[in-house]
């Protein structure tokens, strides 16, 4: 497994596979903003040149800054092999270097694998009913560094 910075060819590939990997239409979440403007800390994992995982994360401008994980995706045939854990460990290290004291991420209610993953990595879990607007609940994950 090779962990490295995400490049344009990876971005192009991710927009094509993300709906399949996440089991539904999610390609809008891979907004170009997260590559061109906020992509300096984005990461991929490849095995024998095959893309098997990605993480889009960035550092917020709040004081203190937060390491925010916007998107994490693992190839369905490569799950439960520690790839998500590897990507989060590197992003956590980068976030610490940038002075972050917290990591944060979120998902929609019912995403049980994301819930189990974040709990396993020591994140707190909070269901907030109007987090994304009226009647748009989200599960918010946070971890103190
Ligand atoms: C959630 C997701 C990113 C996990 O990635 P992964 O590489 O399979 O996770 P890891 O192998 O690093 O798992 C680390 C730990 O998290 C937990 N975990 C991960 N997936 C789990 C699942 N489906 N069920 C139960 N526990 C799970 C386990 O404790 C695991 O450790 P273990 O395998 O030693 O028991 C992956 O399932 C995925 O891409 N899902 C679809 C997209 C998505 O939901 N993204 C996250 C949105 S916030």
Domains in the chain (CATH in brackets) are: 2-144 (3.40.630.30)
DSSP structure string for 68-126:
EEEEEEE-GGGTTSSHHHHHHHHHHHHHHHTT-SEEEEEE-TT-HHHHHHHHHTT-EEE
- Of 41, 43, 68, 70, the closest CA to residue 54 belongs to 43
- Indicate whether 34 pLDDT > 90: yes
24 has pLDDT over 90: no
Q: Hey, CA dihedral for 4, 10, 15, 18, is it positive or negative?
A: negative
Atom number in ligand 1 closest to CA 88? 12
Quote the CA–CA distance of 62 and 43 in Å, as a whole number. Answer: 22
Using the mean position of ligand 1's atoms as its centre, give its distance from the Cα of residue 34 in Å.
22
For the chain, the average pLDDT equals 97
**71 pLDDT higher than 90:** yes
User: Does the model's pTM come out above 0.95?
Assistant: yes
| Mean pLDDT on 21-32 | 92
Q: 80-98, pLDDT tens digit by residue?
A: 999 999 999 999 999 999 9
Q: How far is the centre of ligand 1, averaged over its atoms, from the C-alpha of 113 (Å)?
A: 5
Average pLDDT over residues 101-108: 98
How many CA atoms does the CB half-sphere of 94 hold within 13 Å?
22
Percent with pLDDT over 90 in the chain = 96
**Which residues, judged by CB distance below 6 Å to any ligand atom, belong to the binding site of ligand 1?**
22, 72-74, 79-85, 105, 107, 111, 113-114, 116-117, 120
């Amino acid at each position: 497994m090779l962990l490295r910075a995400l490049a344009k060819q990876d971005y192009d590939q991710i927009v094509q596979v993300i709906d399949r990997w996440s089991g539904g239409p999610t390609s809008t979440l891979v907004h170009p903003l997260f590559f061109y403007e906020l992509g300096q800390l984005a990461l991929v994992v490849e095995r024998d040149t095959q893309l098997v995982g990605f993480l889009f994360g960035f550092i917020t401008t709040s004081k203190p800054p937060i390491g925010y994980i916007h998107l994490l995706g693992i190839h369905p045939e490569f799950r439960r092999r520690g790839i998500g854990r590897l990507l989060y460990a590197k992003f956590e290290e980068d976030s610490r270097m940038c002075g972050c004291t917290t990591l944060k991420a979120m998902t929609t209610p019912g995403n049980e694998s994301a819930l189990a993953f974040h709990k396993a990595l020591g994140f707190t879990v909070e269901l907030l009913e109007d987090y994304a607007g009226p009647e748009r609940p989200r599960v918010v994950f946070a971890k103190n560094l």
